Amino acid sequence: MKLRRDPLSHPWLFVVIAALYGFSIPWWFGEERPSIVLGLPSWAVVSLTCTFAVSCLVSFAARRLWDDGKD
Amino acid sequence: MSFGSAVVAALAAYIAVLAFLGIRARAARASESLADFYLAGRGLGGVVLLFTLYATQYSGNTLVGYPGEAYRVGFPWVMSVGFMLAIVVVYLVIAPRLRASSERHRFVTPADWLDHRFGHPGLTRVTNLMMAAAIANYLLAQLMAMGHVVAGLSDGAIPYATGVLVLTAAILGYELLGGLRAVAWTDCLQGILLAIGLGGLLAATVFSGEGIGEATAWVLENEPAKGFRPDATMQATWASTLLLIGFSGAVYPQAIQRIFAARSGASLRKALSVLAFLPFLTTLPVFLVGILALPRLSGLSGVAADQVLPALLRGWASESEWMFWMCILTVVGVVAAIMSTADSVLLTLSSMLAKDFVAPVLRRRSGGAVEEARITRIGKGFSLAIMGVLVAIALTPRISLWGLLELKMELLVQAAPVFVLGLTWPRLSAKAALAGVICGTLLAAGLTLAGYGKIGGVHAGLLGAMLNAGVAVAGSLAFRRQDD
């Protein structure tokens, strides 16, 4: 069996995932007291949002960017 | 009914269902071949594959250890959602090629792929030995966790030693009967129980009075270090943990065997596309429980971090009858999470020892092929022997192996460059990869055992893996030769 398409042949996917992971770490947030959004500190909400975007991308890539010609 | 006796009754019912599934899996076997016993005949469909990947990936540590970590670290522990997802990201890199290759060459253990890709017995042996040592440590940790969790959550109704012995016997029973088929089917039950347990936890947190917003406000007011932006060292640890868990979690031998066991590429793709969202249904609620515990348990002195979940459950169970039964389900879910990880590790470990270490010796001695049924029987013997030795260690509290247990991820992540580079970079040479593994392992183990588990917030295991990958790439470029 030969792979027709593989997520690795889409480098943009991993660049976007790395960028989202980079923003999930709150280095960009100031040292002030965070406001509370949806019950959590604002920086934690942004972090979870970035992580959720990675989940969506991974799910998309598993379904659409990977083709082993067996469907 | 007391909390302790309800836990005993629920666990007895759970073990009876496991035994039934083991017997059904035995009846479904097609042959005594290695692929049938260890890979369920390469027939795992999307749903079973999803549950078995899920139940194997999320161990008891996720449910018991992580609320404790969230309680100890505070909001930065939100990283746990990201690092469990990072494992699926690395699957995207290695699974398509590994799966395609395994369909052509019928691999059973990770060593089969190593032999196929590199054809270098030294690299296969060293990498395999490291993976086996890492998962043996992991298995021991699961056995000890089974005893502690059952003793702690049953209010002492089931003593530590009884918990270890009974649950180990249950695992051995269904695993020896049905191999991976039994393990995967029980993983489905365990995955469902895990989900119900987490639902119970979430329900308990929602109905227990204090909401997450109040808990967050309390943390920002009373323990600001746990709610404000983490400092630079913690940010480095965050990034390091994403990489360490992502790469080591994806090359767990039991995870790789599940890639080989998938019925088709399509079932694996479907399983991974759902698995990508499960950190939000598993790690996130567990993190929130730890945060909710901060104001609740702050007044209690001497609450060890790993006692957070038992302390919360006992408190919630006394609030109402409905909460009482949700807490019982959570306890069974926790035990199921530990068992589903332990059974997968045991099966993989026995397959590696029988097929990769003993079968080649038998083949050399007999000068020809060895019957697969015989290797399967030897593997079952290894399962019994491994559990015998590990239970003896787990029941001897004076032997402290926690220092060794810490080496699990440090060792395992050293196998990642071999798999990731080996699958994605044709020029990687076996000798350079072996040199990388040895250098990386020495650095990671040396630093960890010398007490430098992290340097500047970065894990010793990750520093080792970076050296490992660097040596492998530089060596391959320097020699400019392909081994395969």
* Two tokens, residue B478: 């320097």
Task: For residue A71, give how far its alpha carbon lies from the nearest alpha carbon of chain B (Å).
Answer: 7
Q: Which of B85, B212, B228 sits opposite A33 (nearest CB)?
A: B228
Q: Report the half-sphere exposure of B453 (CA within 13 A, side-chain side).
A: 9
Contact A51 B97 (CB under 8 A): no
Domain residues of chain B, as ranges? 3-409
The rounded distance, in Å, linking the Cα atoms of B451 and B113 is 35
Chain B hits for A24, CB-CB cut-off 8 Å, are: 79, 82
Nearest CA in chain B to A22: B239
For residue B282, the one-letter residue type is T
Contact A54 B85 (CB under 8 A): yes
Predicted local confidence at residue B206, as pLDDT:
65
Task: For residue B214, give how far its alpha carbon lies from the nearest alpha carbon of chain A (Å).
Answer: 8
Contact A34 B242 (CB under 8 A): no
DSSP H/E element including A14: helix A11-24
Contact B272 A70 (CB under 8 A): no
Chain A hits for B274, CB-CB cut-off 8 Å, are: 59
Chain A hits for B281, CB-CB cut-off 8 Å, are: none
Contact B230 A26 (CB under 8 A): yes
Chain B hits for A3, CB-CB cut-off 8 Å, are: 96-97, 100
Q: Which of A14, A21, A37 best probes binding to B when mutated, by most B CB atoms within 10 angstroms?
A: A21
User: B51, B344 in Cβ contact below 8 A?
Assistant: no
Q: Which of A1, A25, A52 best probes binding to B when mutated, by most B CB atoms within 10 angstroms?
A: A25
Q: In A, what residues contact B, Cβ < 8 A?
A: 1-3, 6-8, 13-14, 17, 21, 24-27, 29-31, 33-34, 36, 39-41, 43-44, 47-48, 51-52, 54-56, 58-63, 66, 68, 70-71
Task: For residue B213, give how far its alpha carbon lies from the nearest alpha carbon of chain A (Å).
Answer: 4
Mean pLDDT across A26-39: 92
Percent of chain A with pLDDT over 70: 92
Predicted local confidence at residue B404, as pLDDT:
53
Chain B hits for A52, CB-CB cut-off 8 Å, are: 280
DSSP H/E element including A36: strand A36-37
Predicted local confidence at residue B401, as pLDDT:
47
pLDDT in tens, chain B (484 residues): 777 788 889 889 989 999 999 999 888 888 778 888 888 888 888 899 999 899 888 877 777 778 888 888 899 999 999 999 999 999 999 999 999 999 899 999 999 999 999 999 999 999 999 999 888 888 888 888 888 888 877 777 888 899 999 999 999 999 999 898 988 888 888 888 878 777 776 776 666 656 788 899 999 999 999 999 999 999 999 999 999 999 999 999 999 999 999 998 899 999 999 999 999 988 998 898 889 888 887 755 444 666 777 777 777 778 778 778 878 888 888 888 888 889 999 999 999 988 888 888 888 888 778 888 888 899 999 899 999 998 998 888 654 444 555 578 888 999 999 999 999 999 999 999 999 999 999 999 899 888 898 999 999 999 999 999 999 999 999 976 554 4
Contact A54 B82 (CB under 8 A): yes
Task: For residue B41, give how far its alpha carbon lies from the nearest alpha carbon of chain A (Å).
Answer: 18
Predicted local confidence at residue B241, as pLDDT:
94
Contact A1 B211 (CB under 8 A): no
Nearest CA in chain A to B241: A25
Predicted local confidence at residue B480, as pLDDT:
67
Chain B hits for A19, CB-CB cut-off 8 Å, are: none
| Residues 6 or more apart whose Cβ sits within 8 Å of residue B230 | A26, B75, B76, B238
Contact A21 B86 (CB under 8 A): yes
Q: Which of A2, A41, A62 sits opposite B269 (nearest CB)?
A: A62
Contact B92 A43 (CB under 8 A): no
Nearest CA in chain A to B78: A44
Q: Which of B82, B227, B276 sits opposite A41 (nearest CB)?
A: B227
Predicted local confidence at residue B66, as pLDDT:
84
Contact B265 A1 (CB under 8 A): yes
Predicted local confidence at residue B210, as pLDDT:
64
Chain A hits for B99, CB-CB cut-off 8 Å, are: 68
| Assigned CATH for B3-409 | 1.20.1730.10
